[in-house]
Chain A
Amino acid sequence: GAVVSQHPSRVICKSGTSVKIECRSLDFQATTMFWYRQFPKQSLMLMATSNEGSKATYEQGVEKDKFLINHASLTLSTLTVTSAHPEDSSFYICSASRRVLRNEQFFGPGTRLTVL
């Protein structure tokens, strides 16, 4: 149990385009979903926390108008990188929490974004 999927796994796009990444909890209802970003040789950095039906909470320094998060249901959250630029190239990972067992989070396989 506790499987999280992410789609697409890899995307290459031109500068200026928008990219949507989906995160789904396949076999449980996720009360909260998290979006992380990881640059090479760096730690995972939390970008935003999203609860179903409410606005996402963004971490300091993350532009909410650039990284749009929609958490439409208890099993789906989407992250849209708007007007992507090369510096947005990174590994984006979502996770989902059932708020059971001490804040345990289940991670999706990640999306590798390359902006040309």
Chain B
Amino acid sequence: RKEVEQDPGPFNVPEGATVAFNCTYSNSASQSFFWYRQDCRKEPKLLMSVYSSGNEDGRFTAQLNRASQYISLLIRDSKLSDSATYLCVVNGRGSQGNLIFGKGTKLSVKP
């Protein structure tokens, strides 16, 4: 089993749609969880951290289910500018703070 697995995508949605991404991780001892966004041929940028109680940042909502080792990201009222690849990220097993990245799910928002 891969350490971090995501929906294969791509997701093609119209503007204004709500879209949900799912992610599972294999290391039950993981403590830090993030969603990053990566635009084509660019570096990843932190979208939001994911907290146990769930958290929201504007149109973005992240949820964590430790029992199922499952993370989700919900985007409401999609904008054209949301088109990107969304990366599910979990801290690695080492003690130095390394991160494990999923392959990402590509989102394309159409007019």
Contact = CB atoms under 8 A, between A and B. Distances in A.
Interface of A: 32, 34, 36, 41-46, 49, 51, 57, 91, 93, 95, 97, 99, 101-110, 112
Interface of B: 4, 31-32, 34, 41-46, 49, 87, 91-92, 94, 96-104
A108 B96 CA distance: 19
Q: Chain B interface mostly helix, strand, loop or mixed?
A: loop
B96 A107 contact: no
A43 B101 contact: yes
Nearest to B34: A104
A103 B97 contact: yes
Contact of B96 (A36, A49, A104): A49
B43 A105 contact: no
A24 to B, nearest CB: 14
Contact of A109 (B31, B42, B91, B96): B42
Contacts of B103: 41-43
B41 A105 contact: no
Contacts of A104: 34, 46, 49
6 contacts: A32-B96, A93-B44, A103-B91, A105-B46, A109-B42, A110-B43
Given A109-B42, A110-B42, A49 B49 contact: no
B49 A34 contact: no
A71 to B, nearest CB: 12
B98 A46 contact: yes
A69 B18 CA distance: 43
A49 B87 CA distance: 20
A43 B43 contact: no
B97 A32 contact: yes
Give 9 closest A-B pairs by Cβ, nearest first: A103-B97, A107-B43, A43-B103, A44-B101, A102-B32, A43-B101, A110-B43, A103-B32, A49-B96
Nearest to A2: B46
B41 A57 contact: no
